[in-house]
Homo-oligomer: A and B are copies of this chain.
């Protein structure tokens, strides 16, 4: 069977199931970041790698600095999902020999701009030639206090579900210049018991079922409540993907205070979109046509 037929998600699952387990690994393949034993007390080491490929994630006409920003920001968004602090990045750059040095310089400007915004040091990397399309892979390490780490799996039935920002329309506007919600995520876990969190990279229709399933819960979403980007339908908000906003679950008695102090602190929107339920009991209200992942 070839990879096209097998599918990336199934392939990753299959591969992950074959890898040796290790007591130093608290979360591994399939989660936002790997969560790992660190030498210091009270901290986890977080690792994440991500890549963008020309012809898949960007085109030959995409501004190189925006490619660089996106390549770095995608990994940083996974740190936001776990309320982690990114610290160090390695860049792997695979480019055809005929590519102009100005393109590489632009790419690094974008990488460095995203890194600097979140106090990440670019500490090395590797370059290689290729006969094919350009590839930029970014690996980031960082850390999170053990008591502030948020996984996808801690949601409880009746938890309220919130999303930051507005959903949909990313391809037209935002997928090349989104802001990873690291500051917001760190603020949240400093003040509230966030039960479960994920960043919306594949769209609410794919990522909410992931969070619910990891938490052993079902979910109910009020479609009319979804915060839509300008010009977007409910369907766009559910399935466009690449929002890189946060979706999280908190106990319902935290919600009033959370909504109040959020408004005082942040200009981006925070919206209660529904709640987790007992698994199997509630109607899954996301139109199934928009859910890529079952």
Q: Are A55 and B130 in contact (CB under 8 A)?
A: yes
Q: Which of B51, B124, B128 has a CB less than 8 Å from the CB of A34?
A: B124
The residues of B that contact A4 with a CB separation of less than 8 Å are: 97-98, 129
Q: Are B53 and A128 in contact (CB under 8 A)?
A: yes
Q: Tell me, rounded to whole Å, the shortest Cβ–Cβ distance linking A234 to chain B.
A: 29
Whether a CB of chain B sits under 8 angstroms from the CB of A220 is no
Q: Which of A20, A30, A95 has the most CB of B within 10 A?
A: A20
The residues of B that contact A29 with a CB separation of less than 8 Å are: 122-125
Whether a CB of chain B sits under 8 angstroms from the CB of A190 is no
- With CB as the reference atom, state the residue of chain B lying closest to A26: B123
Known: A1-B101, A56-B130. A38 touches B36 (CB 8 A): no
Known: A19-B112, A139-B49. A97 touches B2 (CB 8 A): yes
Q: Chain A interface secondary structure, helix, strand, loop or mixed?
A: mixed
Known: A2-B97, A137-B49. A121 touches B12 (CB 8 A): no
Q: Are A11 and B112 in contact (CB under 8 A)?
A: no
Interface size on A, as a range, is 35 or more
The residues of B that contact A101 with a CB separation of less than 8 Å are: 1-3, 6, 11
Assembly CA distance A91 to B95 (angstroms): 19
The residues of B that contact A129 with a CB separation of less than 8 Å are: 3-4, 8, 53, 56
Flag A79-115 by CB within 8 Å of B: 1 or 0 each.
0000000011011101111111100100010001001
